[in-house]
């Protein structure tokens, strides 16, 4: 060991893995090395970042401390490995050229909201990027949506069409600059530009200011964002909102809103501290918030809902547009824009310019676009805070493709194909599970194409070529057909609700066994029935069904999902022997006799009436019995779960009132049958007694929570298990989840819920991949 001025000189090689490329990590390392008087180098390679530093042990310690405590905001360090190596007596610290490698383990970061420093420059009239809608730096800007290939380098992104000007190039090459190796770096001289066009192709001067004036005047615009186009209009203008709703065709889902800041959000909705934090994170999801009673937003934004989906601006263009919009309206008036996905209902969001023109031309009055291409479609993420913490309804922009680290390594590279609705897929290697962005409902050619292309892109980006594929047991799911048709050698079928429960285990690093409660709409059971209220004991290898909702016919199969009145009739038939014997309530009086007849015959002859234990369908049935609009709609609901949401909204109006629960029966064993026939009779009786609808709806929620908790208790008695994992789409019901967690915790259960992937089918792929990995590890597949 060499000795300089009395202290021993040492050299360390440090390998850092995680999200450490494209996030300003090397400049950070460079700055820390200079500060501590160290020599050596830093470079990017296929593993992440490698650093060699040489100096006194005190300086090395100080550097190591900074590495752990002061890393740049977007970096996510998964591991730091340090080895002692021989000193080389370098004379300086340098940023060395990247090493290409065979194995790619460096991670691509998600797209990130404009940082504070860039925002400051954006509105600083002295800055050369003043008012420039594509300002970014290593701490912010587009990533996943512009990356075409790896390694993450400008010429492998859609920014390659924009050669850097000398000023930008100098920033790009300066290790102490915030834009050192910021791949999307751009300025008004060299970067992309926005354009405001009408459908005749005419472009307007001052595109952003003009767009703001058009929006303020009630027009609808298609606006290009990070992962696709939004459709925007003034959310306070009822006429504009209605026009947008009509032009989107049969669109019933609430429109997301964008407001300039937290203060504005608080004028529309109540916002807790946790919700404020979620709104303001650099990931910028849509957050579902409770509307204030005097909320000024047009009713057409979220018809019949008591919540609003709100997000804050996340691109420089959004900031500039909202700023200009404030200038185009009366001083002091609220700035609230609808920013809903740019599509017709059910189609994937438009992200390519030609496609946007073709598909959005009939909806928007004009288009605010740019010449920076989007490579990957990526919808906004949708979140909320509930009793279980942060819940994802959709995990996409701002989160994907950040991997979820599992507690055990994948024995082979793996693919999981997910479900049918709200599809995501997942690729796994090492300990990392890469859950994809939101693909959508695999019901049409476009979504299926997007699914296939997404898998290919992820395989390439993360260098994962699967040797086994996991799929849902439903033979008709397109994702399942895809899995079975691939030439991947090992194919692993996973039961739908087992996958839901496994998604919770995977997130929390658990392997089980646990008591799993899957509360769901539709999932294919191992007996061919449609399952959806399953209490199981489960680990990652397998599950045993401990209890389920009593089977009831699903009249018309898929048709019953969109026509809740069919479920009400099926439950009445179960409760009263023959639906025609059901007591007179408005529901039975208003239903057409001919429809009753057909349905009764279908049930009697067991024609197209698969048995179901779906909890979602029970919610549908009760919504219909209570006469809620989506429940009794003859045309059918616009999406699965619409009637259940109406029921929850009714119940929420009287939440926390003192009320008992309805009766139910639990009988039999392994599996026990949860019989809600007494509940149906009691509800019918309450309707006849003219008990208020919100009260019945609330008591129903409490009953379901009590029923599930009781089933867990019985399972605990029989198995000794004390950990409960809750998942499935029905747990998007905030009231039910809150009531169930409350009861389970009061019974001293340890309760886990999804916090990183959705409890709905968007989380299935993670559960599938965790199960497939466990089975491969156990050797019962190979």
Sign of CA dihedral 192, 197, 203, 208: negative
Name the minimum Å distance from CB 22 to Zn ion.
12
Q: What share of the chain is helix, strand, coil (3-state, %, to 5)?
A: 35, 20, 40
The sign of the dihedral angle between the CA atoms of 475, 477, 483, 484 is positive
- For the CB of residue 313, give the shortest distance to Zn ion in the complex, in Å: 14
The two three-digit tokens of residue 443, written as one number: 């019901």
The residue among 165 and 600 lying less far from Zn ion, judged by its C-beta, is 165
CA diameter of the chain: 99
Nearer residue to Zn ion within complex by CB, 140 or 770: 140
Minimum CB separation of residue 137 from Zn ion in Å reads 3
The least CB distance from residue 116 to Zn ion, in Å, is 8
Rounded to the nearest angstrom, the gap between the alpha carbon of residue 49 and the centroid of all alpha carbons in its chain is 29
Nearer to Zn ion, 318 or 498 (CB): 318
Alpha-carbon distance 350 to 450, whole Å? Answer: 11
Nearer Cβ to Zn ion (169/722): 169
DSSP code per residue over 103-120: S----PPPPBPPPHHHHH
CB nearer to Zn ion: give 168 or 479: 168
Query: 188 or 671, CB closer to Zn ion?
Result: 188
Please, what is the angle between helix 564-576 and helix 677-688, to 10°? 100
CA separation for the pair 474, 215 (Å, rounded): 46
Residue with smaller CB distance to Zn ion, 167 or 409: 167
Smallest gap from Cβ 567 to Zn ion, in A, equals: 51
As measured in angstroms, the least distance from the Cβ of 109 to Zn ion is 13
The least CB distance from residue 287 to Zn ion, in Å, is: 22
> Pairing between strand 414-416 and 426-429?
antiparallel
Non-local CB neighbours of 22 within 8 Å, separated by 6+ positions: 108, 109, 138, 143, 152, 181, 182, 183
Output the smallest distance, CB 142 to Zn ion, in A: 11
CB-CB contact of 547 with 711 (8 Å): yes
Nearer residue to Zn ion within complex by CB, 136 or 383: 136
Give least dist CB 709 to Zn ion, A.
48
Question: For residues 193 and 345, which CB has a smaller minimum distance to Zn ion in the complex?
Answer: 193
Residue positions counted in the chain: 782
Which residues, at least 6 apart from 670, have a Cβ–Cβ distance to it below 8 Å?
544, 545, 546, 718
Q: Provide the β-strand partners of residue 518.
A: 534, 727
> Which residues of the chain form contacts with Zn ion (CB under 5 A)?
115, 118, 137, 139-140, 165, 168, 187, 189-190
What is the smallest separation between the CB atom of 741 and Zn ion, expressed in angstroms?
Answer: 39
C-beta closer to Zn ion: residue 118 or 603: 118
Q: How far is the CB of 316 from Zn ion (least distance, A)?
A: 9
Which token pair is 14? 């440090």
Rounded to a whole number of angstroms, the minimum distance from the CB of residue 147 to Zn ion is: 18
Alpha helices in 329-444 (DSSP H): 353-360
Question: How far apart are the C-alpha atoms of 550 and 206, rounded to whole Å?
Answer: 63
Residue number, 190 or 661, with CB nearest to Zn ion: 190
Q: Which is nearer to Zn ion, 120 or 250 (CB)?
A: 120
Are the beta carbons of 566 and 746 closer than 8 angstroms? no
Beta strands in 387-487 (DSSP E): 389-394, 404-405, 414-416, 426-429, 432-435, 468-472
Rounded to a whole number of angstroms, the minimum distance from the CB of residue 132 to Zn ion is 9
Pairing of the two strands 269-270 and 257-258:
unpaired
User: Shortest distance, CB of residue 315 to Zn ion, whole angstroms?
Assistant: 11
Q: How many whole angstroms separate alpha carbon 769 and alpha carbon 380?
A: 24
Q: Report the alpha-carbon distance of residue 324 to residue 304 in Å, rounded.
A: 31
Q: Which residues of 603-640 are buried (b: 16+ CB within 10 A; e: fewer)?
A: beeeeebbbbbbbbbbbbbbbbbbebebbbbeebbebb
Residue 171 Cβ, how far from Zn ion at the closest point, in Å? 8
Nearer to Zn ion, 179 or 377 (CB): 179
Q: How far apart are CA 750 and CA 738, in angstroms?
A: 14
Burial class (CB in 10 A: 0-12, 13-18, 19+), 697: buried
The closest alpha carbon to 268, from 347, 334, 346, belongs to: 334
Nearer to Zn ion, 66 or 190 (CB): 190
User: What distance, in Å, lies between the first and last C-alpha atoms of the chain?
Assistant: 51
Residue from 494, 540, 537, 443 nearest 778 by CA: 540
Nearest-approach distance from CB 21 to Zn ion, in angstroms: 17
CA gap 640, 630 in Å, rounded: 10
Closest CB to Zn ion among 160 and 481?
160
Give the nearer residue to Zn ion in terms of CB position, either 118 or 364.
118
Triad 745, 749, 755: Cα angle to 5°: 75
| Measured distance CA(505)–CA(543) in Å, rounded | 13
Encode burial over 59-80: b for 16+ CB neighbours within 10 A, e otherwise: bbebbbebbeeebbebbebbeb
Toward Zn ion, which CB reaches closer, 99 or 169? Answer: 169
Count of beta carbons in the 10 Å neighbourhood of residue 700? 28
> CB of residue 482 vs Zn ion: minimum separation in angstroms?
39
């Amino acid at each position: 060991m060499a000795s300089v001025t009395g202290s021993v000189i040492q050299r360390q090689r440090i390998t850092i893995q995680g999200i450490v490329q494209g996030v300003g990590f090397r400049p950070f390392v460079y700055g820390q090395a200079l500060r501590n008087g160290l020599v050596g180098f830093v470079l990017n390679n296929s593993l992440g970042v490698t650093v060699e530093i040489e100096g006194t042990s005190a300086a090395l310690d100080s550097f190591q401390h900074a590495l752990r405590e002061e890393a740049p905001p977007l970096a996510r360090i998964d591991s730091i490995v340090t080895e002692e190596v021989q000193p080389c007596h370098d004379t300086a610290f340098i940023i060395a050229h990247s090493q290409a490698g065979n194995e790619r383990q460096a991670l691509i970061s998600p797209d990130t909201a404009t940082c504070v420093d860039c925002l400051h420059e954006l509105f600083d009239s002295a800055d050369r990027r003043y008012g420039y809608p594509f300002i970014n730096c290593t701490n912010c800007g587009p990533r996943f949506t512009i990356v075409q290939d790896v390694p993450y380098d400008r010429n492998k992104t859609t920014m390659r069409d924009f050669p850097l000007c000398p000023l930008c190039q100098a920033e790009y090459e300066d290790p102490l600059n915030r834009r050192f190796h910021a791949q999307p770096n751009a300025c008004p001289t060299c970067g992309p530009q926005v354009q405001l066009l009408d459908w005749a192709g005419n472009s307007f001067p001052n595109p952003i200011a003009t767009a703001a004036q058009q929006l303020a005047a009630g027009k609808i615009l298609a606006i290009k964002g990070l992962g696709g186009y939004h459709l925007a209009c003034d959310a306070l203008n009822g006429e504009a909102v209605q026009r947008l709703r009509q032009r989107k065709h049969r669109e019933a889902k609430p429109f997301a809103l964008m407001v300039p800041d937290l203060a504005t959000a608080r004028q529309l909705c109540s916002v807790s501290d946790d919700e404020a934090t979620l709104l303001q994170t650099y990931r910028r999801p849509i957050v579902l918030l409770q509307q204030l009673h005097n909320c000024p937003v047009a009713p057409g934004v979220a018809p019949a809902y008591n919540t609003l989906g709100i997000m804050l601006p996340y691109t420089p263009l959004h900031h500039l547009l909202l700023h200009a919009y404030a200038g185009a309206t009366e001083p002091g008036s609220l700035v609230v824009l609808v920013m809903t996905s740019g599509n017709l209902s059910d189609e994937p969001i438009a992200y390519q310019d030609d496609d946007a023109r073709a598909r959005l031309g009939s909806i928007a009055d004009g288009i605010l676009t740019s010449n920076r291409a989007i490579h990957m479609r990526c919808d906004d993420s949708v979140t909320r805070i509930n009793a279980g913490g942060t819940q994802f309804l959709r995990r996409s922009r701002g989160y994907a493709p950040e991997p979820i680290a599992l507690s055990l390594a994948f024995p082979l590279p793996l693919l999981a194909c997910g479900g049918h609705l709200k599809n995501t897929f997942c690729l796994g290697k090492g300990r990392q599970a890469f859950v994809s962005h939101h693909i959508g409902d695999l019901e049409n050619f476009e979504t299926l194409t997007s699914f296939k292309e997404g898998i290919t892109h992820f395989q390439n980006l993360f260098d994962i070529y699967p040797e086994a594929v996991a799929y849902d047991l439903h033979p008709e799911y397109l994702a399942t057909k895809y899995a079975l048709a691939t030439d991947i050698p090992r194919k692993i079928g996973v039961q739908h609700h087992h996958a839901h429960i496994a998604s919770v285990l995977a997130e929390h690093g658990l392997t089980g066994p646990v008591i799993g409660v899957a509360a769901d709409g539709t999932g294919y059971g191992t007996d061919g029935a449609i399952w959806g209220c399953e209490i199981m004991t489960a680990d990652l290898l397998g599950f045993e069904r401990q209890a389920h909702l009593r089977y009831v016919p699903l009249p018309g199969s898929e048709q019953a999902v969109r026509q809740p009145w069919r479920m009400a009739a099926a439950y009445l038939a179960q409760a009263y022997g023959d639906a025609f014997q059901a007591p007179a309530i408005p529901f039975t009086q208003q239903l057409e006799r001919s429809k009753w007849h057909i349905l009764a015959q279908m049930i009697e002859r067991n024609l197209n009436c698969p048995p179901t234990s779906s909890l979602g369908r029970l919610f549908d049935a009760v919504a219909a019995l209570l006469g809620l609009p989506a429940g009794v709609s003859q045309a059918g609901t616009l999406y699965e779960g619409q009637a259940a949401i109406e029921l929850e909204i009714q119940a929420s109006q009287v939440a926390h009132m003192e009320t008992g629960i309805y009766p139910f029966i639990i009988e039999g064993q392994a599996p026990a049958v949860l019989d809600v026939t007494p509940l149906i009779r009691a509800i019918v009786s309450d309707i006849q007694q003219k008990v208020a609808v919100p009260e019945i709806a609330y008591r129903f929620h409490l009953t379901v929570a009590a029923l599930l908790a009781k089933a867990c208790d019985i399972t605990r008695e029989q198995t000794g298990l004390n950990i409960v994992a809750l998942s499935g789409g029905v747990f998007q019901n905030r009231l039910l989840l809150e009531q169930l967690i409350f009861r389970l915790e009061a019974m001293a259960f340890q309760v886990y819920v999804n916090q990183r992937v959705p409890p709905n089918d968007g989380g299935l792929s993670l559960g599938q991949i965790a199960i497939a990995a466990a089975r491969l590890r156990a050797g019962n597949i190979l």
